[in-house]
Structure 1
């Protein structure tokens, strides 16, 4: 298989010295310091609705972690509208769905991203029952196996409003980042997404506000919730 060579959306890779790239590194640092006494190994990124930039955010965050000499795995757990294979210009013939249905082995599904220290697992073929597949005990076992190989595992998930997939996955992760398009998403929609995640006791580490005009220098603003009582 040829190595991916085009990473249009991953500015942290193509222009690591840019202000936007520095913002993603700041996001990485904020996450690391959000739980000093805990080891956050499995993180997921979701959004309130579609088109808010969650997949771009997670690809750049994964790259930022890899640049910190972490061994990183990015998993496309959006089994409804997957994008990781497009971002990294690779095949989606075998992926997460094959792993969760015992039709593929880990070695078959892990692909090089073309970026040092960063591997990916694409979604695989879109199944007719994404929520049921993601609810399987096999996913818990799989994540435990992958934690033996990687320092950080990042899951790209469907939006939190339309379907239950993000809530299901949140129960299997150490923390959640919620991406919100500040220019298009109404406050009540964002709050509904947050409430959906909190309903399953997800640990929301913070919110990435996309499309915030901060002198046109940064792609997003990161808001840290802190510890909730």
Structure 2
């Protein structure tokens, strides 16, 4: 992963990172608040030998340096702890007291520091001073020869312990700082791991990595879509309406020299929004003045009739079996000029009907009557219907659900189309998260929807890529957007 990949991960997973930071910081704050303050007091000892001249002083210094390390180990002995407990009258075991006391030797010196830690500041001072006194006494006892006489080495207290004024633990600033760093590292780590394990498609870059087909547009997620699936029920400046206008403009640049166009709208799996995308694309194309017909070719789980509130008794199946004529099966959607052919009764053999000669003739008849024919087809992975229809049309528009469709699923769907030499006209990222743009009023105005379309990278460049035309065609696309 490159630096920009990590930045993209942080931008996508910032909530997870922030949650880790909050949890770690909260845990550190709770621990700091609940921890008992500990005070530390330190006494210093000097280990020396008796010498008569310079040579003896040098040898004595080396001897003291060797001995002082052994005296540091004596501090943790049970004997010294027992003496200190008896002297101070402490109610604790020697082992527990030894754990609260530490001894360190200052490097390249004969200075021994004894530190005692205790919740009571005055008791910490008393323990450190008593340890220093007892250690000097033990050193004298150990170093005195058996026959009597002066000890060759002695330990002297040079700096008695003082009463500490502030606790050494807990340290709120240090604890919270470490928790913040730990939370960031943990959050970024989890975000990267989750990103590597997450194979769903979330951006135009993800689509570009899978297919060379252009990304025609992005449709914002709207919780009200289930209740109001059609853009005709929304305000003209709503984000979803603007997004479909961008999609319409880009689709108009596909095969610009063709007098009629037949598009298949499909997806990898169900519940990716391909039917609502087909319906709204057909509506926006019809509103632009084109003669458009929407044909429901999903003969397994038809939904178009319910979305438009049309009669489902007649449709594609009744036309294919010869029960009614095409004229009788066509129904009009009021106010938009769109004409719709619903699926009709669900047949027992959808695939056979869609690849029949009657279906081929139906597509020929539709091409003769309309400028644009949009076929709402079933998903590609569960059944072969969409692939069969794509082979008989100008190409397929594949709908991809943001955060739901995986890379492998989309690759599998595109392979289905490649097996029948079907053309992939482009992809549509559906149910994309809404992202407000700065510089506007922050509302759902025209500038918002217009900026939304461009903000995701589905603007003139995508239109030119889809058309593979000249700069003049690109300028025409920009003018059409302004007129919208």
User: Is TM-score (shorter-chain normalized) higher than 0.5?
Assistant: yes
Structure number with the bigger relative contact order (C-alpha 8 A, sep ≥ 6) is 1
Give the match for residue 3 of structure 1. Answer: none
Q: Structure 1 226/72 Cα, relative in aligned 2: closer, same or farther at 3 Å?
A: closer
Cα offsets for 1:28-57 (capped at 9, x unmatched): 111221323334511110000000000110
> Is the 1:73–1:150 contact (alpha carbons within 8 Å) kept by the matching residues of 2?
yes
Does the C-alpha gap of structure 1 residues 106 and 36 become closer, same or farther in structure 2, counting only changes over 3 Å? closer
Q: How does 1:146-225 map to 2 (within 5 A)?
A: 146-215=366-435
Distance in 1 separating the partners of 2:310 and 2:457 = 30
Q: Which runs of 4+ in 1 moved over 6 A?
A: 216-223
Q: C-alpha displacement at 1:25, in angstroms?
A: 1.3
Alignment: residue pair count: 222
1:41 to 250, 255, 261: 261
Q: 1:17 aligns with which of 216, 232, 237?
A: 237
Deviation at 1:24, TM superposition (A): 0.8
Distance verdict in 2 for CA 1:227–1:30, change over 3 Å: closer
CA RMSD of aligned residues (A): 2.3
Gap change, CA 1:189 and 1:148, over 3 Å in 2: same
Deviation at residue 138 of structure 1 after TM alignment? 1.1
Structure 1 partner of 2:190: none
Structure 1 position 121 matched with structure 2 position 341: yes
Aligned ranges for residues 24-173 of structure 1 at < 5 Å? 24-39=244-259, 41-173=261-393
List alignment gaps of at least 5 residues for structure 2.
1-226, 437-447, 469-484
What stretches of structure 1 of length at least 5 have no aligned partner? 1-6
TM-score, length of structure 2 as denominator length = 0.43
Output the TM-score relative to the length of structure 1: 0.89
State the alpha-carbon separation in 2 of the partners of residues 34 and 51 from structure 1. 26
Q: Secondary structure at the match of 2:399?
A: strand
Higher CA-based Rg: 2
Displacement of 1:102 after TM fit? 1.0
Q: In the alignment, what sits opposite 1:4?
A: none
Kindly state the Cα deviation for residue 14 of structure 1 after the two structures are TM-superposed: 3.3
Closer/same/farther in 2, CA of residues 115 and 175 from structure 1, 3 Å limit: farther
Three-state SS of the structure 2 residue aligned to 1:208 is strand
Q: Distance in 2 between matches of 1:33 and 1:44?
A: 16
> In structure 2, do the counterparts of structure 1 residues 121 and 111 end up closer, same or farther at CA, with 3 Å as the change threshold?
same
